[in-house]
Amino acid sequence: MNKVDIKNLSLEELEDFLQGLGKEKYRAKQIFKWIYQKNATTFDQMSNLSKDFRNDLSGRAFVTTFGPEVEESSPDGTRKYLFRLADGACVESVLIPDEGRNTLCVSSQVGCAMGCRFCLTGSFGLERNLSCAEIINQVCAVKNTQDIRNIVFMGMGEPLANLENVIKAVKVLISPDGLQFSNRRVTISTSGLVPEMEILGRSVTVNLAVSLNATTDEQRDRIMPVNRKYPIQQLLAACRKFPLPSRRMITFEYVLIGGVNDSLDDAKRFVKLIHGIPAKVNLIPFNEYEGCVYKSPEQAEIDRFHKYLLDRNITVITRSSRGGDISAACGQLKGRLERPLESVEAETRGKRG
Positions annotated as catalytic residues are 92, 330
Q: How far is the CB of 251 from ligand SF4 (least distance, A)?
A: 14
Binding characters for ligand SF4, 287-326, by CB under 6 A (x = yes): ----------------------------------------
Coil, strand or helix at 76? coil
Q: Identify the residue among 11, 95, 119, 151 touching ligand SF4 (CB under 6 A).
A: 119
Q: How far is the CB of 306 from ligand SF4 (least distance, A)?
A: 21
Q: Identify the residue among 57, 85, 105, 114 touching ligand SF4 (CB under 6 A).
A: 114
Q: Identify the residue among 105, 112, 133, 188 touching ligand SF4 (CB under 6 A).
A: 112
Q: Identify the residue among 10, 93, 108, 121 touching ligand SF4 (CB under 6 A).
A: 121
Which of 13/288 has CB closer to ligand SF4?
288
Task: Provide the angle, in degrees to the nearest 10, between the axes of the packed helices 11-20 and 163-174.
Answer: 90
Q: How far is the CB of 307 from ligand SF4 (least distance, A)?
A: 26
Applying CB under 6 A, does 191 fall inside the site for ligand SF4?
yes
Write out the binding residues for ligand SF4, residues 326-345 only, by CB under 6 A: 330
Q: How far is the CB of 330 from ligand SF4 (least distance, A)?
A: 6
Spatial separation of the C-alpha atoms in residues 70 and 160, rounded to whole Å: 27
Which of 119/344 has CB closer to ligand SF4?
119
Cβ(263)–Cβ(232) below 8 Å:
no
Decide: residue 229, CB within 10 A, 0-12 exposed, 13-18 middle, 19+ buried: exposed
Helices (H), the chain: 11-20, 26-32, 51-60, 120-124, 132-143, 163-174, 194-203, 217-223, 226-229, 232-241, 264-273, 299-311, 332-337, 341-352
Strand pairing report for 315-318 and 279-285: parallel
Q: How far is the CB of 223 from ligand SF4 (least distance, A)?
A: 9
Write the DSSP string, 48-59: TS-HHHHHHHHH
Single out the segment in contact with ligand SF4 by CB under 6 A; choices: 55-63, 70-78, 112-120, 131-139. Answer: 112-120
Q: How far is the CB of 284 from ligand SF4 (least distance, A)?
A: 10
Applying CB under 6 A, does 194 fall inside the site for ligand SF4?
no
Spatial separation of the C-alpha atoms in residues 105 and 94, rounded to whole Å: 5
Coil, strand or helix at 334? helix
Cβ(315)–Cβ(280) below 8 Å:
yes
Binding characters for ligand SF4, 55-94, by CB under 6 A (x = yes): ----------------------------------------
Applying CB under 6 A, does 178 fall inside the site for ligand SF4?
no
Which of 158/301 has CB closer to ligand SF4?
158
Cβ(4)–Cβ(61) below 8 Å:
yes
Spatial separation of the C-alpha atoms in residues 236 and 273, rounded to whole Å: 8
Spatial separation of the C-alpha atoms in residues 104 and 179, rounded to whole Å: 14
Spatial separation of the C-alpha atoms in residues 298 and 277, rounded to whole Å: 29
Applying CB under 6 A, does 160 fall inside the site for ligand SF4?
no
Single out the segment in contact with ligand SF4 by CB under 6 A; choices: 107-115, 273-281, 289-297, 311-319. Answer: 107-115
Q: How far is the CB of 117 from ligand SF4 (least distance, A)?
A: 9
Determine the number of helices (DSSP H) and then strands (DSSP E) in the chain.
14, 14
Applying CB under 6 A, does 282 fall inside the site for ligand SF4?
no
Which of 242/308 has CB closer to ligand SF4?
242
Binding site for ligand SF4 (CB under 6 A): 112, 114-116, 119, 121-122, 156-158, 191, 330
